[in-house]
Structure 1
């Protein structure tokens, strides 16, 4: 009997409740919507520029250190033999990790568009862009590094259910691999489930800096996702570590840039016309030295 979905499902529900449902469209001041393609190339550049490059370098260096020290192998064997959190937890993480990040991001974007809540729609757009950019970079790195997944439960070299071959060697990389067949299974560094989860959390955290609960809930969920990948033998520890570093810096940068773009929009220039509030017809009598003049003034 399967267990119910753990902390990860709770996170998705919390996001929908606290971000999407309570949000009310502004009736007076609304800035323009930022869409998922907003400043795409600029945000991509910023994700690698300056100190942000250290996260990407750190992803590679940490992988080398974990493999060379034997920590990758020891960690995997511990989870394979002890199963400290259980295969059911890992199975749920693997299943939910395919969609539970993009669902609230898309929900925020389209809900915001439909309800004229531009800030909500822009926040969803930031999440969508962060997930898309992180996903594209993660997939490119998977193909370039050509790493295999660890053995399932320490013994199963060929996972018939997944249809790809595994390995007991943490250093089993084939850089610039040209065999992209599923059976070969060289597409596991970094962890996409981990990178996409934390990139969404980081994007929301920097887009909504006043909502501190996003960090308190989101980062533990990201940790849970990474542990689920290791527990289910879907990834090595270094895959998860690299995915977390890459996903965080991309999401953090994109969310922050979206927030800054929203703040930079002049509110008075973006004010939408409301006929119920903005038409005013007034009559005034203005005293003058030589006469009393009547004037009808229409103000907008």
Structure 2
């Protein structure tokens, strides 16, 4: 019911309504971390992709289609997949003995009472 009343839930109703889908994000992060760690096993990768797709689809079509907009599920899946890919890749590199280097650029969100923004760190 709430998804039919389009009011950009994150901005008007708080973090618990709307964009992005937290269920899609956490499940995509879990699935992608497993898939990127086991990237040499195609059945594991395919199973993880199917699982993440199922969860995203159920967020849109489940509960009579009243849970999330399609864009909520896509945004949550993309955010979770990027987080999961990084985590799985770190462990995969450790598994194969590849040397890890810290990132040259880091962007982190900043939230204060009256302002929001981001900080950019550069390693020289």
Structure-2-length-normalised TM-score: 0.65
Structure 1 171/259 Cα, relative in aligned 2: closer, same or farther at 3 Å?
same
Aligned to 1:239: 72
Structure 1 188/259 Cα, relative in aligned 2: closer, same or farther at 3 Å?
same
**Structure-2 separation of matches of 1:167 and 1:251:** 27
> Are 1:172 and 2:8 matched, yes or no?
yes
Structure 1 198/167 Cα, relative in aligned 2: closer, same or farther at 3 Å?
closer
**Structure-1 separation of matches of 2:26 and 2:71:** 16
Contact 2:21 2:76 in 1 (8 A): yes
Aligned to 2:81: 248
1:9-48 → structure 2 map (5 Å cutoff): none
Gaps of 5+ in 1: 1-150, 152-165, 266-300
Deviations 1:4-41 (A, max 9, x none): xxxxxxxxxxxxxxxxxxxxxxxxxxxxxxxxxxxxxx
- In the TM superposition, residue 256 of structure 1 has moved relative to its aligned partner by 0.5
Aligned to 1:188: 18
Deviations 1:165-220 (A, max 9, x none): x2533243453x6x76xxxx843321111111111111111111221112211212
Contact 2:3 2:68 in 1 (8 A): no
Aligned to 2:46: 216
1:127-142 → structure 2 map (5 Å cutoff): none
Deviations 1:90-146 (A, max 9, x none): xxxxxxxxxxxxxxxxxxxxxxxxxxxxxxxxxxxxxxxxxxxxxxxxxxxxxxxxx
Contact 1:188 1:239 in 2 (8 A): yes
Moved over 6 A (4+): none
Aligned to 1:79: none
- In the TM superposition, residue 238 of structure 1 has moved relative to its aligned partner by 0.8
Which has the greater radius of gyration? Answer: 1
**Structure-1 separation of matches of 2:10 and 2:25:** 21
**Structure-1 separation of matches of 2:76 and 2:3:** 20
